[in-house]
Amino acid sequence: MARYTGPKNRLSRREGEDLGAKTAGSRAHASLLRRLNVPPGMHGPHGRRKSSGYGDQLREKQKAKRMYGVLERQFRKNFERARTWKGNTGEKLLEFMERRLDNTIYRLGLAPTRAAARQLVSHGHVLVNGQKLTIASYMTKPEDVVTLTTKAMEIPAVKTLLATDTVKIPEWIMRKGPVGKIVRLPVRTDITEDINVQLIVEFYSR
């Protein structure tokens, strides 16, 4: 299973935005917020150059890809699939990324980050319709019931999340305790992150 294993704060600082790679409220997250406007590397704040049209497209693609925690091959594969559907290609791409099992676990508030959600899936801690699934890229669909194993509910970070009622759940899914259900397909308005999908479409359509 290919994934990025380098320093995650570096990715957020490169994009100048919090990509959700660190648990909110943690020391690592606080450190990131303090340095978010300082690009990584030895040149620091002087390392950013004036961006071109292509540069803007590239950065938006990189931001979205890194936010969802996938590599280029996976992201492009979803784009090519979205391009075959009728309607807005960019919005369909985001729908596919949102429906990934690891992202669904994250959106349900059952994991503090997408990386943590992906680990829960890969370690066999996630059940979909009562069956164990270890494929993070699995596309959830309406009526799917997603839950965690009993063992997963004993993980400290998961127990903390289950004990809080401040997690904002998007309208395309619902959750009761450790059990989530897909109500409908996600749409653009369900996604709060600032992603310019048109720039991503333009990048891949060059």
> Tokens for 149?
């194993």
How much is the mean pLDDT over the chain? 85
> Tokens for 200?
């991503």
Model pLDDT, residue 1: 47
Condensed to tens digits (0 to 9), the pLDDT of residues 108-134 reads: 999 999 999 999 999 999 999 999 999
Q: Which of 122, 152, 157, 116 is nearest to 136 (CA)?
A: 122
Q: Which residue has the higher pLDDT, 164 or 70?
A: 70
Q: Is the pLDDT of residue 23 over 60?
A: no
| 8-97+193-204 against 101-188: fold identical | no
Confidence of residue 167 (pLDDT cuts 50, 70, 90): confident
Q: Which residue has the higher pLDDT, 147 or 52?
A: 147
User: What is the value of pTM for the model shown?
Assistant: 0.79
Model pLDDT, residue 52: 79
Q: Is the pLDDT of residue 24 over 50?
A: yes
Condensed to tens digits (0 to 9), the pLDDT of residues 142-159 reads: 999 999 999 999 999 999
Question: With respect to CATH, is domain 8-97+193-204 assigned 3.30.750.210?
Answer: no
CATH superfamily entry for domain 101-188:
RNA-binding S4 domain (3.10.290.10)
Model pLDDT, residue 166: 81
- Return contacts of 140-143, CB within 8 angstroms, 24+ apart: 140/99, 140/100, 140/101, 140/104, 140/182, 141/99, 141/182, 141/185, 142/182, 142/183, 142/184, 142/185, 143/181, 143/182
Model pLDDT, residue 132: 97
The domain spans of the chain are 8-97+193-204, 101-188
Model pLDDT, residue 36: 53
